[in-house]
Chains A and B, each alone.
Chain A
Amino acid sequence: MLDTLVFVTVLLPFLVAAVLLVLREQNLRKVILVATAGVLILSSLAMLRGGAFIMSPAPLWGSLVTLGDFLILAVVLLVGLKRKNQIIVWLTVAQIVGLIWFDFFMVKDHGATPAFFADDLSLVMVLVVSIVGSLIAVYGIGYMKEHEEHLHLTTSKQPQFFFFIVLFLGAMNGLVLANNMLWMYFFWECTTLCSFMLIGHDDTEIARKNAERALWMNVLGGTAFLFGVMLLYKVTGTLSLQEILARGPEFAVAGGAILVPMFLLVFAGMTKAAQAPFQSWLTGAMVAPTPVSALLHSSTMVKAGVYIIVRLAPIYAGTYFSNFVALFGAFVFLATACLAAGQSNGKKILAYSTISNLALIIACAGINTPAAITAAILLILFHAISKALMFLCVGAIEQKIGSRDIEDMRGLFARMPRTALVAVIGILTMTLPPFGMLMAKWMAIESAHGQFLLMIMLALGSGVTVLFWCRWAGLMLATPFAKAAPEAQDGTIRGPLYLLAGLAVVLSFFSPLVYNGLVAPVVAMYYKTAPYVLRYGNFESATGVFLVYPLFILLGLGFFFALRQTRKITAAQAVGPYMCGEQTSVDGKPGFLGPLGQNVTAVSGNYYLEQFFGEAMLSKWINVIALAVLVIMLFGGAL
């Protein structure tokens, strides 16, 4: 049974991907994709039921992984040579040399390390990848059809597109289930390659440029990862992640030596999670078709980065290094939230908000208390759902209105009532209690309690976060009083939107169960204590209490009552917007009656506070400071 499940979640996507690559029949592709999504979702749930496990497949697979490593590196090297990018070439050469030496001369007991192991953290990750990722893949069917119609392609490029999308899911599942660090390295490189290919999918000038930037930054991370693993092997004498984690306290006491590989691995995680100063690859990735952005931002890629950081947290708990990780995370959280507030491009707002939330997860890993790790895991889970939802909404909106600028989304409810509502739900689940994201943020802030510098940055950051989400939600609703015409939308687009919106709300409602079943055991396993006591489903600890059900019930009742009252409002009670008594309306657009009876259309825009939050203003300083913290982290914390 277990063999089958691991096979289905990791290897099946690779096989399906290969089939999709050669298949040119559209309807068959649709069927295969939906079926794969269903199978992935079911098997991830089955795997969750089965609980923790260790597994070693036949030795042949180990050799295949080694072969795969070199294959990927060769491809990356070719790309580097073709694009004449010195950084990619030299970093890849370093990896090839390092890997040859490591694989054939350093590691003696190749078959001895089990390839896979899973605890609740891995299982949560598999759930996120398989459910959210699959839904995004299904959404891709409808999206890509329209996307290619729009581009007037003569031959469809969908086979390659879905090849890499599905491959990505398999690689991510492999990454989070890997026990052997060399296997993890293989899957890590797989995700780098997939993201490069997907970002460059449209093959425009800017797509090629941004894909290349993503590649060199991630190859840098990959190099750090490989040398991190090598040093880790040197210090601990094993490649088994599980063994390293189990013996974590012993290494931590030994001090110094383990922190250098930890730094390299955490650094690799930071590049993959697009933390400053490497944020530009993720903001550049938005040139790709929307399903790619959704995938990169929510369930795959960046989550691999924070996964490794949270995964290794117990090993560096209580060190100076850990404090610097927290400081770094809190700084990037604040800085990128400010950058998001200065943007009007919807996808860019989402991109910076992703980086900001990932930084919060990293800050939690750095704070490294049971409560903080709980917050980190819950953030990974809830952020994946809400952010995927937001990206899919923006994608659907962009295809309809031809713009991703939030200023153009004013009054969107009149044109796309369902999508606008789903987007508002997405925003609310991102920012307000009683939803899961906010609960996790509450845990994060309370666990930073006592560390005032962190606290200040978290406080400022969450203030800015509310600013950019709230105005976006508000302006989409700016419509005259009228029944909006229902919008036409492909089922493969609408289905994932509704499912994700439902999931974001329902899962938040069951957050006490999620905590009890998935998060508390794994935190207790590595930290010996569970951070919260659940009383009637309310989270309680010495530092605070979060009321889940009372809030859900009271706010829910209030909301329900309000909705019922608004239903009673009739058109007779509707008035035009206030225009100083001089309102006119031309083509349904409200405006003022100006001089000589001319109509002056009312136009308004958001404050983007360029002088505080402009990209040109901030980016340079943010990069300098982030780099400085990284350097201090290496020399002050790790060495």
Chain B
Amino acid sequence: MTKILLAVLALVAAPILGALITGVDRRITAWLQSRYGPPILQPLYDVLKLLGKQPMLVNTWQALCAYVYLVGAALSVVLLFTGSDLLLIFFVLTVGAVFLVMGALASPSPYSQIGGQRELLQMLAYEPLLILVFASIAMVTGSFKVSSVFELSRPMLYDLPLMFIVLGYALTIKLRKSPFDISASAHAHQELVRGVYTEYSGPYLAMIEIAHWYEVILVLGICALFWSTSFVGMIVLVALTYLAEILVDNVTARLTWRVMLKSAVGMGLVLTVVNMLWLYAQ
């Protein structure tokens, strides 16, 4: 019963929370750039307006892909909140991501095509990192279940400090933050128009936006697991991490996908191995 309640809560609260976080993000970014910035509820207004627009599509596959992306993202958040299996969450997240790319590739527009290809490269960079993070969590808790993280007596961050950095790396890629906003950027400095989002418009763009909020909550939720022993600790850790992301977003310039792939895989592997050796030594 509590699981069903949690699931419903996740389903309803996650996108609202995600919208608010995006709103705050935009305000802080504006502040860093000496601008005033939009109201905090602006992302919500945008999406509501988009939802009211008339649908325009290149072909029907895009509509299908937008829906499935949303379902995949929402389902992975539900799975996280109900304490399910980390790897399973990851795979369900992949369902959404794959359909987003398929929708982009389903249009012959070169902008959308390159956006889709780059999004695949982003996935290639962050997916192994996430699996490695989950595997290390399983090393500490002895299980891939989210629920077993909450049975720990001390925060996981003590055992897996380097893995948290790896997660941060994956986070930057997944949230499309600079320097890894390669396939699509939140800011207006994208040479690919809107990259992987180019061909989605109107209500379908709104759905993609909502799905992205779900994903924001998902990755931040995974960050929160690193301080599972206290609720305040979770909030503080997530807030600090997100602030760091915003800062990085604003002080770095976009890198090429080659640098992203090499650095993500290289750094991810080195940090993982060092952290694991340290864990064995303890």
Contacts and interface: CB of A to CB of B under 8 A. Distances in A.
A, B assembled together: yes
Interface of A: 410-411, 413, 431-433, 438, 442, 445-446, 449-450, 452, 455-456, 458-460, 462-464, 466-467, 470-471, 473-475, 477-481, 542-547, 551, 554-555, 558-559, 561-563, 565-566, 569, 573-580, 590, 602-604, 606-607, 612
Interface string B184-212: 00000000010000110000000000000
Contact of A562 (B63, B87, B269): B63
Contacts of B132: 455-456, 459
Interface stretch (B24-32, B98-106, B217-225, B230-238): B98-106
Given A431-B98, A445-B131, A578-B198, A477 B109 contact: no
Contact of B95 (A433, A455, A478, A602): A433
B265 interface: yes
Interface of B: 54-61, 63-64, 67-68, 70-72, 75, 79, 84-88, 91-92, 94-95, 98, 101-114, 116-117, 120-121, 123-124, 127-128, 131-132, 135, 138-139, 142-145, 193, 198-199, 261, 265, 269, 272-273, 276
20 contacts: A431-B98, A433-B95, A445-B131, A450-B139, A452-B272, A456-B132, A459-B127, A463-B123, A463-B131, A471-B101, A471-B105, A473-B98, A545-B145, A555-B92, A558-B71, A558-B75, A573-B56, A577-B112, A578-B107, A578-B109
Contacts of A561: 67
A467 B123 contact: yes
B91 A442 contact: yes
A326 to B, nearest CB: 15
A477 B75 contact: no
Contact of B58 (A410, A470, A576): A576
- Of A433, A438, A555, A562, most buried by chain B (CB within 10 Å of CB) is A562
A403 B70 CA distance: 35
Nearest to A579: B109
A135 B103 CA distance: 32
Contact of A464 (B104, B124, B199): B124
Nearest to A481: B59
A543 B91 contact: no
**Chain B interface SS verdict (over half):** helix
Contact of B106 (A460, A477, A576): A477
Contacts of B64: 559, 562-563, 566
Contact of A446 (B59, B113, B144): B144
B61 A477 contact: yes
A46 B52 CA distance: 58
Given A459-B135, A471-B117, A542 B59 contact: no
A606 B116 CA distance: 10
A577 B131 CA distance: 36
A474 B116 contact: yes
Nearest to A477: B106
Given A450-B138, A477-B59, A559-B68, 10 more contacts: A432-B95, A449-B138, A452-B276, A471-B105, A480-B59, A551-B92, A558-B68, A566-B63, A578-B193, A579-B110
Contacts of A543: 138, 142-145
Contacts of A555: 68, 71-72, 75, 92, 95
